[in-house]
Structure formats: C-alpha cells, structure tokens
Chains A and B, each alone.
Chain A
Amino acid sequence: MSFKKMLSLGLAALLTLSCAATAFAVQDANQDPANTEVTDETLVIGLASEPSALWGGGSGKVENEMQIIGNALMDTLVVVDRNTYEVKPNVATAWEWVDGTHCKFTLRDDVKMNDGNMLTADDVVYDVNTWIEYCANSDTGRFLVGAEANDEHTVTIEFTSSAPDNIYLIAWSNFGVFNESGIEAAGGIEAAAKNPIMGSGKYKFKEWVSGQSITIERNDEYWNPDYKGYFKEIKFTFTNDAAARAMAVQSGDAQVAYDMPISMASTYEGNDAVNLIAHTFGQNTRLWYNMGPKAGATADIKVRQAIDKALDFNAIALVGTANMGTEVHGYFPDNSRFYNETFTAEERAVDIEGAKALLAEAGYADGLDLTIVGMQDQNPIFVVMQENLRQVGINLNISILDTASFVGCAAGGDYDLIHVGDLCDARYPAIMTFFFQSNIDTFCIGGPKWTTPEIESAILEFIAEPDEAKAKEELAAIENNFKENMVYSNTYGEMHASLTAKDIKGYTTIERGFLDCTNFYK
C-alpha cells in the first residue's frame, strides 16, 4: 500500500471518529422537557449586537435580536412546535381557512394584556392595520391585506395571496399581538418600539441600558397557567466578539452565549464547563450560478455542470458545519413535509474528468477565472471550492466583503458564484423569491438572477396548493427543472450554535432557529 493511500485511509478514519465523537458531544435544541418551577434568579444571555428597537411593528424593521427579545414580550396567535413543525394554539384556540386568503381565528377570552385589559378581536384588527401601515417593506406587513372582527373573540385576517402555510408565517414573533391602549401608554407607535410594554408575553420589558443591557422580567400574571418562567429576570448583554461571549459563559458571568460561529463553537465540544448546542433551522445553503444579465461563463450550462461535478460536496458540508452536519440533496430540508431527494449521493460524487470534458466542450479547455462573493465566515468553504475547482482548471477568486458591501453585490448580481440559503421550513409566501421576476432586482440577496414565467407560476401554485401530497409532487417537478438547468448546487443545511452553562437546560427555538429565551431552567 502506498504512503498516499495509507495517509488517505488514516485521515478518513480520523474524520469518521471525529464525526462520531461530535455526534455524541453536541446537543440539539428543543429536546428538554418543560420547566415546572420558578425562582428569583437572573439569566444572562450574551448576544452579538444590540437591537435598534425591540418591536418591529413600530420600527418597521426586523432584526434577529429584536425577534429573540420581542418573542418573550408578546404572544402570537399560534405557535409552531419546532420538533414536529405542528401548528399549535396560543392566544388563538382555533383557526380555519374561510377561503384561500382569509383565515378566521378564535381568540381566548382570558388573555390579559400588560395594561390590565383583556385581548379582544378589535385589538388584533388594530395590530394587523399597524403591521400593514408601519411594516409595508418587511414580511410583517407585505403579505397582509387587512382584518375584520367577527365578534369580540373572533377575527378574520386576509392575506395577499393564497398560501395554507401563511399560518406558519403568522406564528413568527414579529406578529406578536398588542393592544391600542398599551401603545398609548407606551407613548405611541414609535415610542413603543423602544418601550414595548403593550404585549401579553411570558416576560415584561423592564429596562434598557443603552449599549450595555436589556432586562425583561417574568410576567407573574401570564394568562397560561401551564407556563412557568424559571428565571425571574432575563438580562441580555451585547458583545460582538464571539470568543469573549463564550468566555463569559465559561467564567459564569453569563449562562448563554448565543450565535457562535459554527467553526468556533465546535472547539467547545467536550468542554467541561459548557454545553454546545448546534442545530439546523430549516435553511439549506446552495451554490448559485449567475445566469442573469451580468452572467459571464456561468451563463453556459456546461460550465455550471462542470463546477457541480468538480466540487466535493461532502468536504464542503464538513467544513461548513464543522463536522456537525451533512450535505443536502433537496431544496427543502430532509425533515420537511415537502422534501424531495432531487440529487442522489452518486450524482454528488466528484468527477474530475467529467468536469474537464464539459469545460472543454464549453470552450474552456485552457481553464477560466470565476469570482465567488461572500462574507468572512464563508471563507473556509470557499477555500475548499477553490481547491476543488483548481483541479479542473478553474481559478476561483474569492471576494470576501463586509455585510453592506455583500448585500449590494448580491442584490445587484455582481458575481459568478454566490453561496446563500433560503429558509424553507414551510411554504411561506417569501420562499423561492429568487425566482420571482418582480423580486430579482430588489428582494433577492443572491440567486441565479434568472427565472421564467413558467417557473414563477409553478412556484406560486406549489405555495397555494392545499393538498400537501400534491404540493410535494409539484415541488419535485420544479426541483427537477432546476436540476436539468443546473441552476444551483445544494451544499448543506445551515446551523446555529450556542453555548450554555453546564447546568442550564431548556434550549428551545423559534422561527429561523432563533433562541427562545423563555424556556431555560436549571
């Protein structure tokens, strides 16, 4: 056996062992049973940055930290069980689709708002109108038409388009309900964005020390007697540096370090002082080939196919998930109701000679230069791609940009290749917007910058299809079309990672895998 083969086998064995070790060491989210006790303790959660407001409804924005904190302060009509993806009652006990765009919600009659008033259907009508007026640019407002109170505790919400999974959308924390008197008490809509006292959530807003911390306190008059908030107060601190956030947990200053870079988080595997929580959140990442007006060589399907054959997707997934995830074969996550295995493992295998032959057919036998754009955290993945493509004569230039520059570049289609994901844990009206002509130049951060009326129509039909089995078939047809045109190459399921103190339990998540801070306990 040659030295190279022995070395390869040795490395493969090490990789397998490390994957196995990781699988045992890393905890998943949403696994712990619910808490049953309350204490006077304070939970400290280290976030990367400070939100500009706490209520998107008033600020017209949606920020990650805003969602995380806001989720504790306000209740949504329904919630989604993040283990089963089942929609469950919350302040609405029942709901039914009147037609494709109208959904009628029956509200509980015992939901006490923070100002002492009880939640009514008129409050929800006011909420919907506020979302439409103040959040027309974001997903909070742009899919709503209006609402009508049918009686004191029944309200019908109208959506812009027919989509049964709008019920999943309305479960997002930016749709937390509030009342008009609460808004007035806070000082109006804009003031309420930074002083959100108008909800009915498990926790109440207490204090915001600008630049330093935000504190919320347990709502002891919470309407749901089954819920127990273990911690009396939850304090959010803001530290950009992920290593410092992690060390704050190790030192005992904080109990949770949220949103760790996956590569850094994996180094805490097996650490005695902390738990490593890593999980996917319904967003598969893919390598998109520019096929739009600014496309260069990637306009040629043979070049796209050659790149797909040259890439080692297993290695890309291992690097992208720090050995904690695997490559994906469909547009939707493999635990989704609509998952189709569009690509097989065999089709994913590296084929250098096949790639070279395709490049030669495309007129690039002597090689070509391509550029991939991304942000700093993607650099290791791009290095793997660069090395893969080098073997077939493609010189991949890696362009690492800061957030604002990346967004400008990605929205404008100034790239050959781009590596971005699409949240697909449900058929939200905003999924697959990479293929809506009206969105390509505005809402889309990346994608192929290309579509056809047929593709757009097929996606809209899939989103609107009430029969889930049929919807899955429709999606399969769409994905096969993408596969035939080699529009993208699936890579891996994106992951979130956090560290918690060893004695902390109850790590649960909300939409987009964001932290649900209300369920922690010891």
Chain B
Amino acid sequence: MLRYIVKRLLLLIPIILGVSAIIFILKTFTPGDPARQILGNDATQEQVDAKREELGLNDPVIVQYVRYIGGVVRGDFGESYRTGEPVLSEIVPRLATSAKITLGAVAIGAVLGILLGILSALKKYTWVDSLVLVISMFFQSVPEFVVALVLIMIFSVKLHLLPATGIETVKGYILPMVCVGLSSVASYTRITRSSMLEVLSEDYIRTARAKGQTEGNITYHHALRNAMIPVAQSIGTNLGNAIGGGMVLETVFGVPGVGKYIVDSITQRNYPSVLGGALIIAIVLTIINLVVDISFVLIDPRLKTTIISGGSKAPKKAKAAA
C-alpha cells in the first residue's frame, strides 16, 4: 500500500509539469503585457521595458518556465502582479473556503442523487422513475450560473431566507453549495439506480426474500450497501467537477474562494496567480483522487488487488455475501 501511495504521489510531478507547461504556453500566446498591467496604462514604454527586464519576461519561455518550476519546488509560487503578495499566502485562505463549498456541494449532490436513485430503482419503469430522470437531467442540463441566479431570485429576493452574495454567515454557503450540488444529482441518481437494479436482481436478494425478509430490510440492509460501492467511487470524479463548477459560481455569489481568485486573475493578466491557483487545484485534485482510491480499498477489500496492481491482477467478479 505504501508503495502504491508513493507511486501515486510521484505522479504529481508530471501533472504539475503538464499543467504549468500548458498555462505557460497559453500565457505566451495571450495578448497583453504583464509589465504594463502592473505599472498601469500611464507608464512610459521605458518603464514598461525596465519592468519586463526585472520580471524576466524578456527571457526565453523555457528559461522562465524552469525558473518558475524551481520556485514551486521550494514552495515559492511567485508574487501576485496585482497586490505584490506571495501567491501561496493569497490562495491558502481561499482554498479553505472553496473546500467547504465543494465538500458541501458533493454531500448535497450525493444525498439527493442517492435518494432519487433508490426511488427510481424501486419504482422502475413507472412515472416516478421518469419524473426522477427528468428532474435530475434538468439540473445537469441547465448551466449552473442560470440555476444560481434563479436560486438567488427565489431564496434571497422573494423569500429573504438566504443572502444573495457573500459568505459572512453560514447561511451564505447554502446557495453556492446547493447550486453546485444540484448539477451532480443526475450523475449520482443514474449510478445509484443502475447499481441498485443490478444488486436487486442478485441471487442473495432472492434468497433474502425467500427467507421472508421485509422489502425495507432487503433494500436498506442487503441491497443498498453493496450498491453504494460504485456510487462511492463516483464521488472522486464528482469532486473534480464540483471544484470546476464552483469556480464559476464563486464569481456569481461573490465567494472569496480559489475559483474567483483565478477568474479575477485571468481577467487581470495576473499570471503568477493563475499559475499558482491552477497548480494548487491540480495538486489538491490528485491528492483527493488518491485518498478516494485508498478509501475504496478500505470500503471494499476486494478492490485492493485491482487498484494497487493497476488492474493487472484483477480477480473475476466476486459475488458479495448477502
């Protein structure tokens, strides 16, 4: 297991190199001079040229890139062009805010999605099944920022229950969490439904019924536990999606998270902040996926061989004990 964790952590190196290289290439082709951005529109060309030299922007891109990566290795993500503060010190407090929203969103999405998926499976091929499908697909199809504005309109403007923007109180987290969470409901619903239908058709469920177990007992004690394994596995993927969705919604809801920080930095051509934000998100996502993979092994020991060996020694599908 330790070897596997180390191996996965080493994968961070190509990921960091890849993400930073892509952003560096984009930066090279993007119009707008960071030096002028820092000095303002009133600066003379001589001052801009001097600033470019000071920042090393006249060096070849590969030299700038190697210099940057060298800094990252030492924990130096550069300084924000806008505020002059170290990028890392600006991102860390924002990361905590984004994490709260992401985790809340995943929880809301998972709970709603699982409940709807169970309902859909139990009422398969009925109007309830169709209705659940329509509702979950609706929230997946409508852009999150549209859902955000509609939710603000209902819960803030009309009902005065929740703040429209900002996170000064706990209430401020609710709408962003719900908004991001709703977009993942369809995914959880579909996975839960198909997994439940598969498990409900297993022999051990038939045996349980034959033994006179109640439907509720069969559903919640025998079927649901086993059906949850693929649902739990999808949480890792949805965490990544939630972070991406949250980036846009942080801007709409005025939430001071990493997403808003990156979006603002992009419009300001604040490259160190964009790079730092993107790299830290990449690192966080990689670690989250690693933690999720390890947690799978703890949930279902059968997966130990599959995950740790990369699937080469995967056993044939074993039937779970009822």
Q: Hey, which bits of chain A sit against chain B, CB under 8 A?
A: 46, 49-50, 52-53, 60-62, 137-139, 142, 209-213, 237-241, 243-245, 247-248, 250-254, 273, 401-405, 407-409, 411, 441-443, 445
Name which of B30, B44, B152, B164 has the most chain A CB atoms within 10 A of its CB: B164
Contact B254 A240 (CB under 8 A): yes
* Chain B residues with CB below 8 A from A442, complex form: 42-45
Q: A241-B251, A273-B157 are in contact. List 16 more A-B contacts (CB 8 A).
A: A46-B165, A46-B254, A52-B83, A137-B42, A137-B47, A142-B42, A211-B256, A239-B254, A247-B153, A247-B164, A250-B156, A251-B152, A403-B267, A442-B44, A443-B41, A443-B42
Q: Which one of B32-40, B182-190, B293-301, B308-316 contacts A?
A: B32-40
In Å, the complex CA distance between A137 and B46 comes to 11
User: Interface of chain A, helix or strand or loop or mixed?
Assistant: loop
Also in contact, A210 and B256, with CB within 8 A (given A139-B42, A402-B267): yes
Q: CB within 8 Å of A: which of B105-164?
A: 145, 148-149, 152-153, 156-157, 160, 163-164
* Chain B residues with CB below 8 A from A210, complex form: 90, 93, 256
* Chain A residues with CB below 8 A from B52, complex form: none
* Chain A residues with CB below 8 A from B253, complex form: 239, 244
In Å, the complex CA distance between A62 and B42 comes to 10
Also in contact, A212 and B267, with CB within 8 A (given A241-B251, A443-B42): no
Contact A408 B33 (CB under 8 A): yes
Contact B252 A244 (CB under 8 A): yes
Contact B31 A408 (CB under 8 A): yes
Contact B164 A248 (CB under 8 A): yes
* Chain A residues with CB below 8 A from B257, complex form: 211
Q: Which 7 A-B pairs have the closest CB atoms?
A: A211-B256, A404-B32, A239-B254, A251-B156, A248-B164, A405-B31, A250-B157
* Chain B residues with CB below 8 A from A240, complex form: 251-252, 254, 260, 263-264
Question: How far in angstroms is the closest Cβ of chain A from B165?
Answer: 5
- Cβ-neighbour of B164 out of A253, A402, A404, A405 (below 8 A): A253
* Chain B residues with CB below 8 A from A244, complex form: 148-149, 152, 164-165, 252-254
* Chain B residues with CB below 8 A from A46, complex form: 165, 254
Is B166 positioned at the interface, with any CB of A under 8 Å from its CB? yes
Minimum CB distance partner of A438 in chain B: B44
* Chain B residues with CB below 8 A from A62, complex form: 40
14 contacts between A and B (CB under 8 A): A46-B165, A50-B264, A61-B40, A210-B93, A212-B167, A244-B164, A244-B165, A252-B160, A404-B269, A408-B32, A408-B33, A409-B31, A443-B41, A443-B42
Contact A404 B37 (CB under 8 A): yes
* Chain A residues with CB below 8 A from B30, complex form: 405
Contact B31 A213 (CB under 8 A): no
Minimum CB distance partner of A249 in chain B: B164
